[in-house]
Amino acid sequence: MDLREYIKVTELDKQLPISEEDIKEIEKEDISWLEEIFKSLPPSTVDDDQFNKYYNFTVPKLGEGGSCSLKTEFEPFDLTSILGERTTESDLQLWRLNQVIEKLQSISNVDWLGIYKKINYKNSENNKEDGLLKLAYYGEFSRAIFPLTDYFQTISNNSWVGINGKSKVIQSLSTYEGVYYNCSDKVKSEICIPILLNNNVVGIIDAESWKDNHFSSKILLKIVLVSLFISKHL
C-alpha cells in the first residue's frame, strides 16, 4: 500500500485537509533512518537491564468498565504475560520499535507516542478476544491493552481505529464531541492511525500533544510514512 492509497482507505483526508502539494512533498521524505533501524542490531551498550525496561513498564490501574483510574494508582505490566517468554527475536523487535519511537518523537515533537500491535489474548475473565498491545511508547504511563470489542470502540479511539481501520484526528479536545478515552488531563490534541498490512489492521500508532492544533498535515503524513514502513515488522 502506498501513501495515496492509505490516505483514501483510512479516510485521512476527511479528518484533515491534505493537499496534492502536501503529498508530493512527503513522498520525497527521506526514510533511510527507518531502513537503517530495521537493518541494525542492538549495540553492546544495550544490556539486560535495558531490555527488561522494554518488557516491563508501569500502567494505570483500571477503574470501573475498564477505564483508567484516577491517574494516581499504578501497577507493573510485563509484556511476556501476553507475548510469551522473552526471545532473541522479541528482544530485537522491541529494541527496533523503541528506536522508531525515539526518532519519530523527535521529528513530530509530540508529548505522547505509542506503537500497538493487534493480538488475540485472554482477558481478565479468561476469555479470548482481540486487542491492541502497546509494544513501545514515549511519555506518561498509559494503558497496556485496548480491547477490540463493540463496547470499547464506543469509549476509545484506539479501539475504534483498531476495529474499523480508519484514522482519527482530534485537533482540540475542548471542542471535540466524539469518543475519547482519557488517561491524562494534559492532552489537547491527538491522532490515531491504523497500521495496515494487505488492507488488514495489524496495529495502530497513537500520538498526543499537550497543545491544540499540533498535528499539521506535514506532521501527520510523516507519522503515516512510519505506519506504512513498520506494517511488515510487527
Confidence of residue 9 (pLDDT cuts 50, 70, 90): very high
The predicted-structure confidence for 168-227, as pLDDT tens digits, reads as follows 999 988 887 776 676 778 899 999 999 999 999 999 999 999 999 999 999 999 999 999
CA–CA gap between residue 56 and residue 58 (Å, rounded):
7
CA 83 to chain CA centroid, Å, is 17
Residue labelled with grid coordinates 497500521: 195
Confidence of residue 124 (pLDDT cuts 50, 70, 90): confident
> What local confidence, expressed as pLDDT, does residue 175 receive?
83
Give whole-number Cα distances, 142 to 73, 80, 145, 164, 208, in Å.
11, 17, 9, 22, 12
How confident is the model over 89-95, as a mean pLDDT?
96
Instruction: Please name which of 139, 130, 209 lies closest in space to residue 173, comparing C-alpha atoms.
Output: 209
The predicted-structure confidence for 145-160, as pLDDT tens digits, reads as follows 999 999 999 989 999 9
Kindly report the CATH class assigned to 3-233: alpha beta
pTM (2 d.p.) = 0.95
